[in-house]
Amino acid sequence: MPIIEGPARRLSRAGKGRHFLKTVFVLNGPNLNALGKREPGIYGGKTLAAIADDCKQAGAALGLEIDFRQSNHEGDLVDWIQEAADKAAAIVINPGAYGHTSIAIHDAIRAVAPLPVAEVHLSNIHAREPFRHVSMVAPVAVGMICGFGPLGYTLALQALAARL
């Protein structure tokens, strides 16, 4: 069951008003719902709910509405990227393992250009197994932050806020 929190549903008919333009979708891919108990030596002990709280706090300081979601299903992420074209000013995405494999997510991001997208990974994917060194998202993202744990989400929001 995908996790959806935030204002996008409420704002779905809001058109392109000022409030609406400051919404950032923060999208999370497979297995990230298990943060806190999943391989804490790699991903740390923080839960995804706590990361969502961090994002909302950082968003409030930056004047951004945060719409924080997670799904284990590739198609949900594609749907949400498409939805962001009409409802968000930018996307932060931790695509999880789909970042290494998903041409569909790559294509979805290309299709919503020039919507700025920041890729985040908690771990340093370049210091891990070779299959994690490739990102399908990085070529279509504004930038990528990896290896700084949950702080990466806040850094990505700051970077996007500076562009908006």
Residues binding ligand DQA (CB under 6 A):
31, 94, 96-97, 99, 121-123, 125, 132
Say whether 121 is catalytic. yes
Name the one residue in this structure whose structure tokens are 């719409």.
67
Residue 14 CB, shortest distance to ligand DQA, in Å, is 31
Q: Which is nearer to ligand DQA, 8 or 122 (CB)?
A: 122
| Least distance CB 121 / ligand DQA (angstroms) | 4
- The residue from 98, 106, 121, 153 that is catalytic is 121
Look up 43 and say whether it is catalytic.
yes
Contact 138, 95 (CB under 8 A): no
Whichever of 24 and 27 has its CB closer to ligand DQA, that residue is 27
- Give catalytic residues, as residue numbers: 43, 121
